[in-house]
Each structure stands twice: as C-alpha cells, then as structure tokens.
Amino acid sequence: MKNIGVLTSGGDSPGMNAAIRAVVRTGVYHGMNVYGIRRGYQGMIDGDIQLMQTTDVSNIIQRGGTILKTARSKEFMTPEGMQKAYEQLQKHGIEGLVLIGGDGTFRGAVKFFEQYTIPAVGLPGTIDKDLSGTDLTIGFDTAVNTAVEAIDKIRDTAEAHDRVFVIELMGRDAGYIALNSGIACGAEDILIPETVTHIDELLNKIEADELRKKAVHIIVVAEGDDFGGATEVHASITERFPRLDVRACVLGHIQRGGSPTYTDRVLASRMGHAAVNALRSGDTQVMIGIVNNEIVHTPFTNVIKGTTPISADLIDMIRILSV
C-alpha cells in the first residue's frame, strides 16, 4: 500500500492533531504518500484532498481542534454519495484510510467497505469515551480536566454565597465526563445517562444537607441524563426550595477546545502510529484502542455494537463519599 488518506469526522476532540501528525509522519517514514482529506466524509465526496508532507504537521501536536477540519455528512450515507467518494479516492490513487472519529464515523466505514472494499483503520476521537474496545478515547482526558478546572472555580463562588449549583457537562449517550469530573471535584450528586435519576432522592438529600447546615451543594449532570439537563434539575430544586439560591451552569463546547493534555498527546501519537502499521500489515476494518496500556485492534462491527458499562463500584463510591 503506497497511498493512504487520513480524515477527522464528527465532533472535534483535543488530540486529533497529534493523531494526524503521527499518521502523516509514520506513513512518510515508510515511503507512503499520505493525503489529508478535509471536512471528513463530505470532503471525500467533494474531492477536498491534498498530499501532505512532514512539514505540514509541524507545530500542531499542542493544538486543539483539527487542521483537517471536520463535518458530519448525510450525503455520504447515500449510494450516490459513496459513489462520489469512491471516485475521488480512485482519482488520487488512495488505497486505504485512517479515520479519526466516533461511532458514526465507523458506521460509515462499515457501509463503505461493503460497497467498495476500501481498507480502513479507525482511531477513537471523541471526548465522550463512549466506545468499547479502548480504555481511553482521544480528547477525553483533556475534556475532563477542562471540566474539573471549571467546577473547582464554580465551587469557590458557591462557597462564598452558600449556593446550590447545577453544572451540565457534555455526554449525550455516555456520562463518563460527568462521572469522572464529578468524582474529582467532590460533587454531592452526579447524574448520568447510565443510571436512573430519581429526582425525589436528590431533593431529599438537599433537604438533609440543609438540616445539618451544609449550604453548598454541587450537582454535576450529563446532558443526556434521563431526567434532563441543568435547566430541568434547576427547576425542580427551586420549586421545592424557593428559599435556596440555586444557579444552573452549562459548560457547553468549552469542553471540546483547548490544548490537549500530555495523556491525549501521547495516546493519539501511539494510536496514529499503530493505525499506519495496521494498514501496512493488512489488518483493517478495525479500531485502534488502548487496553491496559497496550495497543489492541477491535473490529468496527464490535465497536459499533458494544458499550462499556459504568462500574457499580464507582457508583457506590460516589454515594459514600458525598455524605
């Protein structure tokens, strides 16, 4: 395999640039031509493809976002869109792909392979850590550290004013950011999609805290919690306790940005290097993951179908430590 393409797709995550850098430089080292495909699958359809050199990825390992841009493409999931994408790959002589993204990216790769048998290797680029087959995803560590820093600052003002704060974090289908940042910040309650939220239990806990003169209460909620986000939780608390000073805070896309942490830079570099080696060895239609600090290859079909359950021990620990 002499010509490969690399793209980023779906939501951006800190560390994607480090992964692109590793793919380009590993490919060039092995005598390959590495093409950057801008704006994900949509860029593949439009032919937004350019040959990359090692100098094109200089001084990007510390940058958030993605130099290749990213997008979601409904057109790619149509037969006509896939045909256009295939023709563009043929035009540039691209024989294999490195796809940096999440669940939707890998679903697209499976359908594309079924039609055109273009080999592909995926890297888990998502802050949500909602993919099976890996202990960490590119961007998760940075997003959690961003959330921890913000929650620590919010607790300062909560302490100063004796306030209850409801802080909403990203996590539509998975609550790992909320769970880990909540634990790290000593949140009194953590609400995540993986568990059922009983709002009455939360309200009773706030009332019990009041009785024992504990005025500050930090509640971390993932956006995909079954009860709702910060707005819904805030409304329930103020309805029950109109005397309390309750504030809602949605951190939003600040969690996606920023310079990647050491962990994400090294993780993305290891994965990008491994992805090129997988293509060279013919091991394709797999996602590169890290399990117990070792590189593993998991078939796309298993990644798409699988989920990583939240540890029951962690849930129990949260309950105990928030007393």
Binding residues for ATP: 11, 72-73, 102-105
CA 215 to centroid of chain Cα atoms: 34
Distance CA 36, CA 44 (A): 10
Report yes or no: 274 and 152 within 8 Å, Cβ to Cβ: no
- Alpha helix locations (H) across the chain? 16-29, 40-46, 79-92, 103-116, 140-161, 176-184, 199-211, 230-240, 262-281, 300-305, 312-321
176 to 131, 135, 186: CA distances (angstroms): 11, 11, 15
First to last CA, the chain: 58
User: What residues act catalytically?
Assistant: 128
Distance CA 188, CA 185 (A): 9
Q: Which residues are annotated as a binding site?
A: 11, 21-25, 72-73, 102-105, 126-128, 155, 163, 170-172, 186-188, 212, 214-216, 223, 247, 253-256
* Closest listed residue to residue 82, CA positions, set 53, 31, 45: 45
DSSP state of 242: T
Q: Which residues are annotated as a binding site for Mg(2+)?
A: 103
DSSP state of 223: T
